[in-house]
Amino acid sequence: MSGSYEDRDGKIWMDGVFVDWRDAKVHVLTHAMHYASSVFEGERAYNGKIFKSREHSERLIASANALDMPMAYSIDDIEAAKAATLRESGLTDAYVRPVVWRGSGEDMGVASAKNPVRMAIAVWGWGAYYGDAKMQGAKLDIAEFKRPSPDTIPVHAKAAGLYMICTISKHKAEAKGCSDALFMDYRGYVAEATGANIFFVKDGEVHTPLPDCFLNGITRQTVVGMLKDRGITVHERHILPDEMEGFEQCWLTGTAAEVTPVGQIGDYTFEVGEITRKTAEAYEKLVRS
């Protein structure tokens, strides 16, 4: 399927009912559009089953709570709605996008308590997030913005507002021929890409940034567990940018990115080595098991 995302066939789940894809609209005075009162999830279904679905639903509720947006749905309600939307799509391998936002209501200022908390779920087919880069090793730019400190914004919420600097940084990266941008955090440590976590390999051991000011991705947690099960030592720690000089391999993890090898970050280069390849293969197997 191609073309505009608003001009497609199918159904979108909206506030408890299915509406025709092209009718899934909101008003221009939607609070979320003005003040970023919006949280979302990105999930993938494989062979008709959403991978780690419950974990994503739990995170969605936690993100909504972090933005003071009380949801009318329980985890079980969300699970049922996602499953129904996937079934309705007729797809077995698909991307699943739940979104929760403050709609249009009596409030048009910053406060939004009088506006309804709304929810929608869309499902569509989405292939490799980085296209061809997936197997060759993606090239990453280094972002100018930093991931913010936890006392400036709810850093663990998957909230629209946290993606503003991601979009700007990714546009700059793509203009330079890169697939993505890597952020440092407010202290200068290596953090994450615009929609994925990062891992490095050195001397057979794996190093990954401590997620103390960014999303502790569900894929990241899965991959850390898989590596430990294989007997590989994983260091979750603060990583300085200069350390990238000594790292041999690198990959990104995320629901959309899955396990994507990285070949270059700024002037640092990495090989698509055995641990990277085996991790990507093992992840592919796990999501379909």
Residues that bind ligand PMP (CB under 6 A): 42, 192, 195-197, 215, 217-220, 253-255
- Output the smallest distance, CB 261 to ligand PMP, in A: 16
Nearest CB to ligand PMP, comparing residues 102 and 156: 156
Nearest CB to ligand PMP, comparing residues 37 and 43: 43
Helix/strand/coil percent split, the chain, to 5? 30, 30, 40
User: CA-to-CA distance for 128 and 167, rounded, in angstroms?
Assistant: 19
In sequence order, the 6+-apart residues with CB closer than 8 A to the CB of 70 are 64, 117
User: CA-to-CA distance for 18 and 23, rounded, in angstroms?
Assistant: 10
- Output the smallest distance, CB 114 to ligand PMP, in A: 30
Nearest CB to ligand PMP, comparing residues 108 and 282: 282
- Output the smallest distance, CB 53 to ligand PMP, in A: 12
- Output the smallest distance, CB 256 to ligand PMP, in A: 6
Nearest CB to ligand PMP, comparing residues 103 and 254: 254
User: CA-to-CA distance for 108 and 129, rounded, in angstroms?
Assistant: 36
Nearest CB to ligand PMP, comparing residues 219 and 260: 219
The SS3 call for residue 71 is: coil
- Output the smallest distance, CB 147 to ligand PMP, in A: 9
Q: In terms of DSSP H, where are the helices of the chain?
A: 31-35, 53-66, 75-89, 133-136, 164-175, 218-229, 274-287
Q: Answer yes or no: 158 catalytic.
A: yes
Active-site option among 146, 158, 176, 278: 158
- Output the smallest distance, CB 116 to ligand PMP, in A: 25
Q: How far is CA 288 from the centre of its chain?
A: 19
Distances (CA, A) of 9 to 2, 51, 98, 153, 180: 11, 25, 18, 37, 30
Distances (CA, A) of 256 to 101, 213, 217, 220: 22, 21, 11, 12
Nearest CB to ligand PMP, comparing residues 52 and 278: 52
Over 217-273, what HEC string results? Answer: CHHHHHHHHHHHHCCCCEEEECCCHHHHHHCCEEEEEECCCEEEEEEEECCEECCCC
Lookup: tokens for 192: 């994450």
Q: Are 2 and 8 in contact (CB under 8 A)?
A: no
Catalytic residue set: 158
